[in-house]
Structure 1
């Protein structure tokens, strides 16, 4: 939820006000921004992220959403200790350059690949285990997505060739039916352009592997007792696969550089920086 607690750094309300001025929150459309980082070989890399929210327990923490099947982005997040976000506001022209550490919150079924949720981020409730807290937050953010953006988590891996063909010669981009690819993924091409969130009581929170149990035969084809999936079974599998693909990227900010344009005077540039004792400094810079 946008807002904070009693220990709100000075840049937080500035960013919140700017966010409200620049985006129509009633439309529930994705808010895109860029992350700049370096890959393990030192090559610079820029990726798109989608802003989700501020963490209610700690307003220094920002939440973003991403797809775990985006291999390049996952490599950038896991391979670097420091990351930088550039956020250009579309209406006011302001920009925020936010530096900090990114942590990943993936589905429990993906913990063997991406590790456990962050332990160095304040969650506010000492009675709840961090793993449980972060999974609840991941599910909460999943339900807040627009149906159009949610459907993008059913699509093929970003950055891969759109004309590449699977080994069996079929194309997921032209296929009109769902093709389940065993216990490692669910391949629907671009069949789904809208996807509603399902109640986790129907199995949505159990992940893809549970949903596929009994649905895939030895040839990797979708089947239930040798027959095709029903529409309800297909939708449940697709939803659960998309939910497994959905992850949160949690940034704990340590520096915020805010640049504001001015039509009658030089632009205003303010730097906010975290100190070791948890306090924040604030300094005006030359633009």
Structure 2
């Protein structure tokens, strides 16, 4: 993920991808530690960002523009909570996203859960042994350490607004631009010389 800071510096982050939201594929899911002051600071300063997704084997590149939302534990207060999803089966928006957060937490491996007990990457721990002592954390292990890790775990949600797809597996290479709106997307497929528009049409969210 890249974005321009107010200082003019460029911020770069590698985000663990957790998949698409089943109820609305316009949303991408990532994991986030609330004590990650570097990433949290950049998102709070401006939640709009651009993601770069590279697939070397298929020679495809995706540049995805959108906005971040943070689904944190109920005990944590964060800016930019996720928006309402139309198919939330009568749940409140807060309950819906809390359930999504817990679902992703349960999918993590015991080693991945343990990392949410570790210090922020912006910190320099005084004792590596004490700071990284927890190497495994089972989801059935109900303890103070487990609650600390669970409260630290956030579901980072990215709502897609625009997608640029570059396909270099064919010749001439193709560039496809998709602008997502409320109910549909408008897609333009153009040659890489950007001179000839091949097709423009709308397609449903599904």
Task: Confirm or deny that 1:129 pairs with 2:82.
Answer: no
Q: Name the counterpart of 1:77.
A: 43
Give the root-mean-square deviation of aligned CA atoms. 2.0
The answer to whether the 8 Å contact 1:38/1:44 transfers is yes
In terms of fraction of residues, the more helix-rich structure is 1
**TM-score (structure 1 length as normaliser):** 0.62
Aligned to 1:174: 129
For 2:133, the equivalent position in structure 1 comes to 191
4+ residue runs over 6 A deviation: none
Tell me the distance in 2 between the aligned counterparts of 1:252 and 1:267. Answer: 27
Q: Which of 142, 166, 169 does residue 259 from structure 1 map onto?
A: 166
- Which of the two has higher C-alpha Rg? 1
- Using the alignment, how far apart are the partners of 2:165 and 2:136 within structure 1? 36
Q: Which residue of 2 aligns with 1:246?
A: 153
What are the residue-to-residue correspondences of 1:38-187 with 2, within 5 Å? Answer: 38-111=4-77, 114-115=78-79, 117-119=81-83, 121-161=84-124, 164-165=125-126, 171=127, 173-175=128-130
Structure 2: which 5+ residue stretches go unaligned? 193-206
DSSP-derived class of the 1:151 partner:
helix
Deviation track 1:260-284 (CA, whole Å, cap 9, x = no partner) reads 222x623322111124x53211112
Q: Quick one: distance in 2 between partners of 1:88 and 1:146?
A: 25
Q: Deviations over 1:106-135 (max 9, x none)?
A: 111112xx147323x425125111111111
Q: CA deviation at 1:103?
A: 0.5
Normalised TM-score (structure 2): 0.84
Q: Within 2, Cα distance between the matches of 1:47 and 1:95?
A: 17
Decide whether the 8 Å contact of 1:40 with 1:80 is kept in 2: no
Instruction: Determine which structure has the larger strand proportion and give its number.
Output: 2
Work out the CA distance in 2 between the residues paired with 1:123 and 1:144.
24
